[in-house]
Amino acid sequence: MANTTYDVVVIGAGPVGENVADRVVQGGLTAAVVERELVGGECSYWACMPTKALLRSATALRAARRLPGAREAVTGDLVASAVLRRRDAFASNWSDDGQVSWLDSAGIALYRGLGRISADRVVEVIGEDGASTSLTARHAVVVATGSSALVPDVTGLREAAPWTSREAAAASEVPGRLAIIGGGVVASEMATAFANLGSVVTVLARDGVLPQAEPFAGERVTQSLREAGVSVRLGAEAVSVSRGADGTVHLTLTDGGQVEADELLVAIGRTPRTQDIGLDRIGLKPGAWLTVDDTLRVVDEDGSLVGDGWLYAVGDVNRRVLLTHQGKYQARAVGDVIVARAGGEPVDDSRWGRHVATADERAVPQVVFTDPEIASVGLTAAAAEAAGLRIRVVDYDLAAVAGAALHVDGYQGHARMVVDEDRQVIVGCTLAGPDVAELLHAATIAIVGEVQIDRLWHAVPAFPTISEVWLRLLEAYGR
């Protein structure tokens, strides 16, 4: 068995693991990453990039059709084969050559195979050929293995070979009929995408559409999906699934109803990829989410650090926020804190310090690329109340903003800000409407910076833009 030593060993070379390694190398340390699949991870090949590519062409076509002059220039319908080719390009045709080249240019060593913790600060790499390499970390081992789609224990479901988010993102053909179990972000986006591409889509949303968002967001997306021909069945739940000899999927619902489809997508949640990475060797439970402190060090069930704090977990695997950009934020924090601790430097673990990931609790931005787009950051009104805050909710019709009216004829949208009345700062914002994703960062800055409402009056939005909604929200607030 070959033995090699680095300052930091990262298990998982997705965008989160890559960022950890890059950050520590920039800080003067050496780093190696271990990857069993494609360098670049879920986001690059089966999530963020390919799914947004599936959605973008239809969004552009829809926008053109809503504008006189452009509408008349549109002479045809969406071409599914061209959309899939563009998707393939954004997934790099499922080749990681470019990402591997970047690792090399960044001075990061790559080991392909299964990375498994075998002892404190030691990771064993089992290659495809069965050969084993032992990597020793002087300072830290970082788990960045991410998550996989959760497939529930529904009778016959696994035997029916359903799609998960991976198969949906990488589909080579558009199914004539697609059934979707779930109503969250993945379910909503893929229902939108495949309806755009010509599938007859049925959504079984037991807990509603976008149940974690402000209620108006799910309501607007549900309405839009139905207008696009999608059958959205709220409260529906499958109790058994089977796939016939002809490939047809048959679903039986709790109310006795039946659904037939050519493909079935299961999109109800995620599970951590920690089953086989050696957690049992260090007293942790295989297959479990990893609990961390705000500097991303792994702690056990009693809240005690693993060993002397050499083990870190970043991204989906720690279950704080299952979003790529938030995982990369954690990666920057953990890279900096490892470098600081390695050099004996002070660690800034204050509320908004450089070495902590407190935004995971206070200011998480997210965009759902449905029609309409849903952009949110911070707390919903319900979450703020549950947290014990004394709040005021301010709503405004985006269609009444001059920039929105210019942007698209018949613009429909809604904006909400949630204000902490005691501190006079915004703690949450949700926007629904065409192209609201580009409005979100202003809200994120206001929340992270804890900008006082009185001070926000001096942040003057340009006219005529949709951003003028910020002025209208402040006017509605009345200060």
- Give CB contacts under 8 A, 24+ apart, made by 422-427: 422/389, 422/390, 423/450, 424/452, 424/453, 424/454, 425/450, 425/451, 425/452, 425/453, 426/378, 426/451, 426/453, 426/456, 427/362, 427/378, 427/379, 427/384, 427/389, 427/391
pLDDT tops 60 at residue 1: no
Same fold, 2-45+91-148+271-359 and 158-268: yes
Radius of gyration from C-alpha coordinates of the chain = 24
For residue range 311-337, what is the model confidence (pLDDT) as tens digits?
Answer: 999 999 999 999 999 999 999 999 999
CB 108 within 8 A of CB 31: yes
For residue range 274-291, what is the model confidence (pLDDT) as tens digits?
Answer: 999 999 999 999 999 999
According to CATH, what is the number of the domain 372-477?
3.30.390.30
For residue range 385-413, what is the model confidence (pLDDT) as tens digits?
Answer: 999 999 999 999 999 999 999 999 999 99
pLDDT band at 360 (very low <50, low <70, confident <90, very high): confident
CATH of 158-268 given 3.50.50.60, 3.90.1170.30, 3.10.129.10, 3.30.565.10: 3.50.50.60
Tell which residue, 307, 431, 314, 416, has the closest CA to residue 370: 431
Distance CA 52, CA 46 (A): 10
Residues in a beta bridge with 242 = 250
For residue range 288-311, what is the model confidence (pLDDT) as tens digits?
Answer: 999 999 999 999 998 999 999 999
CB 399 within 8 A of CB 405: yes
pLDDT tops 90 at residue 2: no
- pTM (2 decimals)? 0.95
Q: Which residue has the higher pLDDT, 347 or 339?
A: 339
Average pLDDT along the chain: 96
- What average pLDDT does this structure show over 159-188? 97
CB 40 within 8 A of CB 13: yes
pLDDT for the residue 348: 87
Over pLDDT 90: what percentage of the chain? 94
In this structure, how many other beta carbons lie within 10 angstroms of the beta carbon of residue 450?
Answer: 16
CB 451 within 8 A of CB 434: no
Residue with tokens 């009444």: 400
Distance CA 244, CA 302 (A): 49
pLDDT for the residue 66: 92
CA distances from 368 to 188, 343, 401 (A): 8, 41, 22
For residue range 211-253, what is the model confidence (pLDDT) as tens digits?
Answer: 999 999 999 999 999 999 999 999 999 999 999 999 999 999 9
pLDDT band at 362 (very low <50, low <70, confident <90, very high): confident
Q: Where are the domains of the chain?
A: 2-45+91-148+271-359, 158-268, 372-477
- What average pLDDT does this structure show over 449-457? 95
For residue range 43-94, what is the model confidence (pLDDT) as tens digits?
Answer: 999 999 999 999 999 999 999 999 999 999 999 999 999 999 999 999 999 9
pLDDT tops 80 at residue 479: no
Q: Which fold has domain 2-45+91-148+271-359?
A: FAD/NAD(P)-binding domain (3.50.50)
